[in-house]
Each structure stands twice: as structure tokens, then as C-alpha cells.
Amino acid sequence: MCGIVGYIGPDNAAPILLNGLSKLEYRGYDSAGIAIYNNGKIEIVREVGKLANLYQTTDGGSAMPGAPGIGHTRWATHGRPSERNAHPHSTERFSLVHNGIIENTQYLKKKYLSKVSFDSETDTEIIVRMLQTFCDGGEEPFTAIAHIISEVEGSYALAIMDREHPEVIYAVKNKSPLLVGRGDGFNMIGSDAMAMIKHTNTFYELMDREFAVLTCDSVEIYTRYGKHVKREPFTADLDLTDTEKGTYPHYMLKEIEEQPVVIRRIIEEYTNENGDLTINDKILKDLKECDKVYMIACGTSYHAALVGCKMLESLAGKSASAYISSEFEYDMPILSQKPLFVFISQSGETADSRAVMVNVKEKGYKTLTITNVKGSTLSREAEHTLLLYAGPEISVASTKAYTAQIAVLAVLASCVAGKKCPLDLKYELSVAANVIEGLCSERDSYKELAREYVGDSTRCFYIGRGLDYFVCLEGALKMKEISYVQTEGFAAGELKHGTIALIEKDTPVIAIVSQENTDLHTRSNIEEVVSRGAKVLTISRSGLSMKKDSIIVGDVAEILTPLVTVVPTQYLAYYVALLHDRDIDKPRNLAKSVTVG
């Protein structure tokens, strides 16, 4: 997923842009570039590979004096990673960076650019060529940008510089994330707050098909029709330390070990003045009045949704089902009479989930977003939002956001249940936080188990039933996405219906046993794979454990066991990835937030 930064102000832009881009590295990229205005010219430097290459070429930015400037980290969609496809893309007058995908490129080329030759294979270059064409035809940049917005279909976040007017830069947004940072004597553009937090924590949101004109001292926002919009800025409660690794070798390890603190923060944030767990009345009303909750999410958030549905049904007797966003969008089931849609998304920017939100909102259904990012697209476009309070999650592999989602979903379910809730959830969540803390102190043992049970295997299985199966799906995803070991999360009872054919001598199998009503069944499934030569590592809940179990997690309320059984799976993935010398925080091919559909 691409990253965008822009700066206009009295200081040299290049070092500020490079620092901003470094805070966006977690989004995944394969090339980077910056454009700087200096003495009537726009100088551009682009490099394939890591941002370090750009730092080196520009000597940390000091070799490119001047301002304003724009910068970009590119995650290739149209056109392979190369210097010519890297952003910024320019004409003789304009330079532009883009995050997103243009959907009507052929139409635009045919209608406006049939006589134009292109330097790159990207869809982005079409936009800057259109801008140049419109201005060559006599339009002012302001009008030309509105014209572009009216013609271009797809997702785009743009930062634009004009060589003839270095006193302004432009920000343009449609579906892709983009914020404007408000400074004192300077202003910035960024894909998210993190890119700018070192300089300001005051931001303006741009809605779809809006654009902003930034000078050193002003930010003016306009609709696609060029109508001025009055909008109040918001402050982001991020601080720079949140986004630093501190003493940790990787963000992922830091974020695994932040989980106890995050759960305690959630308890605090959702406790009212009477000491009771509570959520906004309007949200509670809609949850109680609906006849079914449809949870929509992707990846790890989908795995949290599976647990959340179980909580709603068992704690509150509320019917609930979870759906993968990209499946639901094209294969919507027959809906209940009064559905409520809950979107679970750490970033709040996932395009697949947003596409469903647009769809269900058009049908007049109510929507709630549970997200870690205040002011994110899914948060702004939903009727209601519940925040995770997990702090920035930098590592592509989601860990603390997963347990935060489960904790918030537990709070939600207990509030819907009200006095009928069978648990003292506040107490049970704090027990879970303590158990996680204990598990974190065992980290060295997981390192040893990772080597002993998985080591340099290229295949691995997670098996479990019910909630344990849901955690198996999450554990398998973690293992896959950072160690690249082909791992399947499998319903233990289903193995004998075919997949057990894959089990052979020394196949690593990680079994999760935490549910009273299925532990003996899962134990017999463990025997099935052991008898076929598998190497089984069992993660069990202390009340159900056996001497031979490799990892025993402390007792928590059974419905909350995913909060604790997931922790060893996170560590196992981390240490296997370390064994395989992987790029743990930025795995290949992946992005932290998939804002393209």
C-alpha cells in the first residue's frame, strides 16, 4: 500500500519528507521518490528498493534543498517496481504522487491523451498528464483539479506540486486515505497521521472527491465542484513514542507484549463513572433492536469477528454471523428483517470492507465500525464507531489489534446482555490481561519450541474446535504471513475427511485445547495425527491440561480463551520467522492496510 507525504513551509522539505515516509514504511512498498521545488525548478529523485536507498542518494535530504516538496513510497500495482514507475510522476510543469488505482484509464487516455506519450507503465501518470493538458488548454490548476475529479474513476489520494506556483501544493482524495496536517507557518499532506505527527497533531479530514489547497499559512478545502468547505481540524491522540520500537528488535514483538496494557486500557475507556462497562446508548439501542448482527471483515479482523459472533450469541443471545468482506460484497446472503452491520478493521481503510459498507448503507442498513484509527474512512462513513484504543499498530502482522478487537467485542456483547450477562466481564478481562502478561514472560520457551517443533519445516498445521478453531485460523495466518511457512488452520474434527492425508512423519501440528465441551474430541484428533508421525505441540488451558502439553495457558472465562491461546501462536510465528531470517515487520507482498480492492 503506497505512502504519501507533502510539505509546504519555510524549512527544506526533503528531510521532512524522508522522515514522514519512514513512518509509512510499515505499509509496504518497493520503491520511493521525492520531488522538491528549488529556484524555479522541481528536482526529482526516485529509487527502487528500500527508503534507505533514497536517504543515501539524497544524503538524508540535504542534497536537495528547497520547498515545497512531495514524497511517495510505492507498492506496485500497475507496472513493475522500477525507477521509471516510481513516483513522483511529472510533466514540464507539475509533479504528482498517487495512492490508489485508477479504473477508467483507457477511457481517459482515449478522450484526453491520445496524442500524449508516456514515460511509465503506471495509471498515475495519466492524472498528471491530464492536469498538464487541461492547463495547456487554458484551465487554472484549481479548475483542472476539479475537472480531473469529475472524470477519474477509482481510488486516489494525490499530492500535487506546480512549478509555476511554488506557493501552493494540492491534496486530492477519493477512497484512498489522506489527511492534511495543520502547522504554524507550514502545512503538510500525509497518508495518515503518523507521517506528520513529528511536526503536528492537528489534522483536517478530506471527504471523497474533495481537494485542498495548501499554502504555508492556510488550508482551504473544496468540493469536487470547487465550492469552499468549512471544516474544523481534529487532533490525533498519537505520540511519537507510540510509533518507535524502543528496545524491541521488531514492532511485532513490541505489539505482542503491549497486549496486557491494551486490554487494561480498553477496560478503562469503556468503564463509566459508576464503574460499569458501557458503550454509547445509541449503539446499544441499535444492537438490541436488530434481529441479527452481520460482522464484515478481512484477515485477522475476520478471525476476531468469528470470536465476536460467538460472544454475542453465548453472552447476549443475539444472532450473529461473520463474513469475509470480499466474499460478502459479491455473494450477499438473504438478510434478516432488521440487520445491523458491524465492520471490524484495525486500519479503518480496508477497501474490501469499505465496498460492503457503501453497499449496505445504500440499502439503508445501520452500520457500526470497530477500528483502531479515529477518523478513518470506515469510522467516518459508519453511523457509529467503537475504538480499540490499541495505539498505532505498525507491524503488518496484526497482534494487539486482534486481542483488542476481541476485548471490545466482549464489552459490546456484555452490554447487549446487560444484567443477563453471565460474566463479570470487567474482572474476567483483567484476569485475561494478567494471564497474557505471564505468557509474555515465557517468551524464551516459545523460541525453543518454535525451533524444535517447526524449525525449517515448510508446512505446518493448527488444529482445534469451536473457539480453538478460530484461533487456529489466526495462528495459521500469523505463521504464513511472516515466516512464509505454508500453514493451515483446520477444524480438528474435519481432518479425517481428507486433509489427514497430508500428515506424515515429523509434520508439525499445533493443537489448541481450551474448550471443555470439545477437549476430549480434540485430544483424540491429536492421537490421530500422532499415529501418522506428526510432531504435535499442544497449547492447552490449565483446567484442561495434561502433563505432555507443551504450552499451558492460565485459566480465563472460557469465552475469552482466544485472548490467551492466541499469544503463544503469535510468538511461535515470530520466532519461526526469525529462524527463517524474514523481514518480520514488513513481510514480502503484504501491506498493513489494503486500501485497494
Long-range Cβ contact pairs of 62-66 (< 8 A, separation 24 or more): 62/12, 62/14, 62/15, 63/14, 64/12, 64/14, 64/34, 64/36, 64/38, 65/12, 65/14, 65/36, 65/38, 66/12, 66/13, 66/14, 66/36, 66/37, 66/38, 66/39
Beta carbon of residue 274, minimum distance to ligand AGP (angstroms, whole number): 32
Nearer to ligand AGP, 405 or 538 (CB): 405
CB 224 within 8 A of CB 146: yes
Alpha carbon 138 to its chain centroid, in Å, reads 42
Element (H, E) at 205: strand 202-205
Task: Establish whether 505 is a catalytic residue.
Answer: no
Beta carbon of residue 402, minimum distance to ligand AGP (angstroms, whole number): 8
Nearer to ligand AGP, 12 or 353 (CB): 353
Nearer to ligand AGP, 22 or 346 (CB): 346
Angle made by CA atoms 257, 261, 267, in degrees to the nearest 5:
145
Element (H, E) at 293: strand 292-297
Nearer to ligand AGP, 95 or 99 (CB): 99
Beta carbon of residue 400, minimum distance to ligand AGP (angstroms, whole number): 11
Nearer to ligand AGP, 397 or 449 (CB): 397
Beta carbon of residue 351, minimum distance to ligand AGP (angstroms, whole number): 9
Give the integer Cα–Cα distance in Å for 597 and 593.
11
CB 90 within 8 A of CB 125: no
Alpha carbon 339 to its chain centroid, in Å, reads 26
Cite the DSSP H helix spans in 102-172.
Answer: 105-112, 124-136, 141-151
- Treating both helix axes as pointing N-terminal to C-terminal, what angle do 561-579 and 425-440 enclose, rounded to 10 degrees? 20
Q: Which of 466, 470, 512, 429 is closest to 306 using CA atoms?
A: 470
Nearer to ligand AGP, 9 or 391 (CB): 391
CB 150 within 8 A of CB 198: no
Give the integer Cα–Cα distance in Å for 244 and 128.
35
Task: Establish whether 50 is a catalytic residue.
Answer: no
Three-state DSSP at 132 gives: helix
Cite the DSSP H helix spans in 167-317.
Answer: 251-257, 259-269, 281-289, 299-316
Given the rule CB under 6 A, which residues bind ligand AGP? 298-301, 345-347, 350, 353, 396-398, 481, 593-594
Name the active-site residue from 23, 254, 318, 592: 592
Beta carbon of residue 60, minimum distance to ligand AGP (angstroms, whole number): 30
Beta carbon of residue 44, minimum distance to ligand AGP (angstroms, whole number): 32
Beta carbon of residue 212, minimum distance to ligand AGP (angstroms, whole number): 25
Beta carbon of residue 299, minimum distance to ligand AGP (angstroms, whole number): 2
Neighbours of 42 (CB within 10 A): 22
Grid cell 461473520 is found at 322
Nearer to ligand AGP, 47 or 255 (CB): 255
DSSP state of 102: B
Name the active-site residue from 2, 135, 309, 472: 2
CA distances to 25, 77, 114, 463 from 468, rounded to whole Å, are 33, 36, 58, 8
Q: Enter the C-alpha cell of residue 336.
A: 434478516
Going by C-beta distance under 8 Å and a sequence separation of 6 or more, which residues neighbour residue 104? 151, 152, 153, 154
Nearer to ligand AGP, 397 or 460 (CB): 397
Give the integer Cα–Cα distance in Å for 282 and 383.
10
Beta carbon of residue 237, minimum distance to ligand AGP (angstroms, whole number): 19
Nearer to ligand AGP, 16 or 306 (CB): 306
**Residues acting as catalytic residues:** 2, 592
